[in-house]
C-alpha cells in the first residue's frame, strides 16, 4: 500500500467516523433536524463508496452465513452477558424495568422487528463491512489495534445520545462486534449478535439511553 493511499484512507476514515458524527450532532441539537432524516443520507454515502470500490464485493460480503461454531460462541457469550445487563437495568431504574413489553406490547413488538431490520443491518454495514473492508490493511498484522479503533469510533458516534451510559454500553458492544466480525468475516453473525443485545436493551428499559429526543414535533 502506497503512502499516498494510506494518507487518503486515513483522512477518509476521520471524515466519516469523526467529522460526520460531529456534523450530525450539530444538526440534531443546533438545528433540531431529526436523526431519521439525516441517517439515510449518511448511509447512502457509505453504500456508494463500497459499491464503487473495486476491491469490495457485496455478494462475497453478504454471502457468508453463520457457522455453528460462531453461533455457539454468540449464544454462550450472550447467556453470560444478558444477566449482567438485566441486573444493571433493574438497578438503574426499577420503575422502568420491563415496563416496555409489559405496558406497550404493540410498540415493543414493532421495535423488536424494525430495530434489527432498519438499524442493526445498516449499522453493521457502516461500522463492520465498511471499516474492515476499507481500512483493515492500514493495521497490517495488528488485528487488536483494528478492533479497538473500530470500537472507539463506534462509541464516538454515540455522542449524539448525550449520555455516558450509552458510551460505556457502546464501547463493550463495539469491542464484541468488531472482534466477532474480524474473527468470522460474517456480516450475518455480527447482525445476529447486535440484534440480541439491542433487543434486550430495549426490552429491559435501557432504550432511553439510545434516543435523541429530537423529533418533528
Q: What is the pLDDT of residue 211?
A: 86
CB 116 within 8 A of CB 199: yes
pLDDT at residue 217 is higher than 60: no
Number of structural domains the chain divides into? 1
Cell for 38?
Answer: 439525516
Q: Is residue 76 part of a domain?
A: yes
Chain segment 99-158, per-residue pLDDT in tens: 999 999 999 999 999 999 999 999 999 999 999 999 999 999 999 999 999 999 999 999
pLDDT band of 198, cuts 50, 70, 90: very high
CB 154 within 8 A of CB 144: no
Domain residues for the domain of 87 are: 3-210
Q: Is residue 191 part of a domain?
A: yes
Q: Is residue 104 part of a domain?
A: yes
pLDDT band of 212, cuts 50, 70, 90: confident
Number of helices followed by number of strands (H, E) in the chain: 12, 0
Instruction: Give the Cα-Cα-Cα angle 166, 168, 172 (nearest 5 degrees).
Output: 115
Q: What is the pLDDT of residue 91?
A: 97
Chain segment 68-111, per-residue pLDDT in tens: 999 999 999 999 999 999 999 999 999 999 999 999 999 999 99
User: In the chain, what are the helix, strand and coil shares in percent, each to the nearest 5?
Assistant: 80, 0, 20
pLDDT at residue 216 is higher than 60: no
Average pLDDT of the chain to the nearest whole number: 96
Q: Is residue 215 part of a domain?
A: no
Q: What is the pLDDT of residue 215?
A: 59
| Percentage with pLDDT > 70 across the chain | 99
Chain segment 37-76, per-residue pLDDT in tens: 999 999 999 999 999 999 999 999 999 999 999 999 999 9
Q: Is residue 217 part of a domain?
A: no
Q: Is residue 216 part of a domain?
A: no
**Predicted TM-score of the model (pTM):** 0.96
153: exposed, middle or buried (C-beta count within 10 Å: 0-12, 13-18, 19+)? buried
Strands in 73-192 per DSSP E: none
Amino acid at each position: 500500500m502506497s503512502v499516498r493511499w494510506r494518507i487518503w484512507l486515513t483522512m477518509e476514515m476521520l471524515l466519516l467516523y469523526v467529522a460526520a458524527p460531529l456534523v450530525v450532532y450539530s444538526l440534531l441539537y443546533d438545528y433540531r433536524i431529526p436523526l431519521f432524516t439525516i441517517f439515510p443520507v449518511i448511509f447512502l454515502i457509505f453504500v456508494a463508496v463500497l459499491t464503487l470500490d473495486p476491491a469490495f464485493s457485496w455478494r462475497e460480503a453478504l454471502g457468508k452465513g453463520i457457522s455453528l461454531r460462531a453461533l455457539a460462541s454468540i449464544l454462550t457469550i450472550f447467556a453470560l452477558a444478558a444477566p449482567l445487563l438485566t441486573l444493571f437495568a433493574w438497578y438503574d431504574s426499577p420503575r422502568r424495568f420491563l415496563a416496555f413489553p409489559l405496558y406497550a406490547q404493540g410498540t415493543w413488538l414493532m421495535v423488536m422487528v424494525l430495530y434489527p431490520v432498519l438499524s442493526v443491518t445498516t449499522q453493521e454495514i457502516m461500522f463492520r463491512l465498511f471499516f474492515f473492508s476499507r481500512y483493515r490493511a492500514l493495521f497490517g498484522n495488528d488485528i487488536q489495534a483494528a478492533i479497538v479503533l473500530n470500537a472507539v469510533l463506534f462509541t464516538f458516534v454515540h455522542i449524539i445520545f448525550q449520555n455516558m451510559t450509552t458510551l460505556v454500553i457502546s464501547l463493550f458492544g463495539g469491542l464484541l462486534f468488531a472482534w466477532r466480525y474480524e474473527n468470522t468475516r460474517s456480516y450475518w453473525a455480527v447482525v445476529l449478535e447486535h440484534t440480541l443485545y439491542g433487543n434486550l436493551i430495549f426490552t429491559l428499559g435501557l432504550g432511553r439511553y439510545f434516543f435523541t429526543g429530537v423529533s418533528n414535533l
